[in-house]
């Protein structure tokens, strides 16, 4: 073989080897099981009225820095919002058991700026509930079917936190258990990010019964 042809052959082999390395690398990346696992933080009713407004939960101020400290780990942040009309049936003046809270479009129904200000818009999703005047609705996602994968997909890691432990967090968690069984995603609860009205006992009992782990 002439020197020139030998040189060309070496170059060709080197090029093919290089190309197959690049290919292997991208194949490996694509088959990496962590790649398609989205991390979603579901934050229940983290609204000013439940923090320092008309219906404050115990230790609600303390869960804010705890949630802020972990939110950067997530690809998506879903915020549920208790979103009541002014005449909602859950208010004492309408025969319900709660003071007026989270009236739609009011400051009390908003989420503290320090939670949202530094998060990219594309990561955020807001989900309202409790809009029907005559209907109490503690749980979010009640209207999502297991055939709807627009919010939750197979393999997602879904972590729940928020307010209030024994009401909206518990009932939202029940809906997420239904969806996780139907869709096939992982579910855990970030207890340092959950505030209660009276006690965490009911939530912890439910988690134990369902085998739901704490997110640390
Ligand atoms: C809630 C009472 C009334 C809650 C909402 O977010 O847990 N509690 N409305
Ligand atoms: Zn409410």
Confirm whether 32 is domain-assigned: no
Of the pLDDT bands very low, low, confident and very high (cuts 50, 70, 90), residue 13 is very low
Domain that holds residue 45: 3-25+41-214
Q: Establish whether residue 163 lines the binding site of ligand 1, counting it when its CB lies within 6 angstroms of any ligand atom.
A: yes
Q: Report pLDDT for 131.
A: 98
Q: Which residues of 80-116 are buried (b: 16+ CB within 10 A; e: fewer)?
A: bbbbbeeebbbbeeeeeebebbbbeebebbbbeeebb
The environment of the single-atom ion ligand 2, i.e. residues with CB closer than 5 A, is 82
Could you read off the pLDDT of 83-117 as tens digits, one per residue? 999 999 999 999 999 999 999 999 999 999 999 99
Domain with 141 in it: what CATH number? 3.40.50.850
Q: Residue 34 falls within a domain, yes or no?
A: no
Q: Is the CB of 164 under 6 A from ligand 1?
A: yes
Nearest CA to ligand 1 atom 4: 168
Mean pLDDT of the chain: 88
Q: Which ligand is nearest to the CA of 162?
A: 1
User: Is 171 inside any structural domain?
Assistant: yes
CA-nearest of 135, 140, 42, 124 to 82 is 140
Q: How far is the CA of 109 from the centre of ligand 2 (A)?
A: 10
Q: 180 CA distance to ligand 2 centroid (A)?
A: 25
Residue 26 CA to ligand 2 center (angstroms) comes to 49
Task: Identify whether 35 is part of a domain.
Answer: no
The model's confidence at residue 1, banded by pLDDT at 50, 70 and 90, is very low
CB of 171 sitting under 6 A from ligand 1:
no
Choice between 50 and 21, residue whose per-residue pLDDT is larger: 50
Kindly state if the Cβ of 90 falls inside 6 Å of ligand 1.
Answer: yes
pTM for this entry: 0.85
**Number of domains composing the chain:** 1
pLDDT digits (tens, 9 = 90+) for 51-79: 999 999 999 999 999 999 999 999 999 99
The answer to the question of residue 31 being in a domain is: no
Specify if 33 maps to a domain: no
Tell me if 154 sits within 8 A of 185, measured CB to CB.
yes
User: How do beta strands 186-195 and 124-129 pair?
Assistant: unpaired
The reported pLDDT for the residue numbered 35 is 53
Q: At 136, is the pLDDT very low, low, confident or very high (cuts 50, 70, 90)?
A: very high
Q: 111 lies in a domain? A: yes
Please report, rounded to a whole number, the percentage of residues in the chain having pLDDT higher than 90: 83
Residue 139 confidence (pLDDT): 98
Sign of CA dihedral 73, 78, 83, 89: negative
Question: Domain for residue 36, yes or no?
Answer: no
């Amino acid at each position: 073989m002439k020197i020139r042809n030998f040189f060309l052959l070496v170059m060709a082999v080197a090029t093919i080897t290089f190309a197959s390395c690049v290919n292997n690398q991208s194949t490996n990346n694509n088959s990496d099981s962590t790649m398609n696992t989205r991390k979603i933080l579901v934050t229940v009713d983290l609204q000013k009225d439940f923090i320092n407004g008309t219906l404050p939960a115990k230790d609600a101020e303390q869960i804010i820095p705890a949630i802020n400290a972990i939110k950067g780990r997530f690809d998506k942040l879903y915020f549920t919002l208790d979103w009541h009309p002014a005449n909602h049936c859950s208010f004492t003046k309408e025969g319900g058991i709660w003071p007026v809270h989270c009236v739609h479009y009011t400051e009390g129904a908003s989420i503290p700026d320090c939670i949202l200000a530094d998060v990219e818009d594309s990561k955020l999703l807001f989900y309202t509930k409790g809009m029907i005047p005559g209907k109490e609705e503690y749980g979010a996602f009640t209207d999502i079917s297991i055939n709807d994968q627009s919010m939750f997909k197979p393999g997602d890691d879904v972590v729940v936190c928020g307010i209030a432990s024994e009401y909206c967090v518990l009932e939202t968690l029940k809906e997420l258990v239904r969806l996780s069984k139907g869709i096939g995603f992982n579910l855990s609860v970030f207890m340092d990010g959950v505030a209660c009205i009276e006690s965490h006992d009911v939530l912890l009992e439910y988690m134990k019964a369902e085998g739901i782990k704490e997110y640390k």
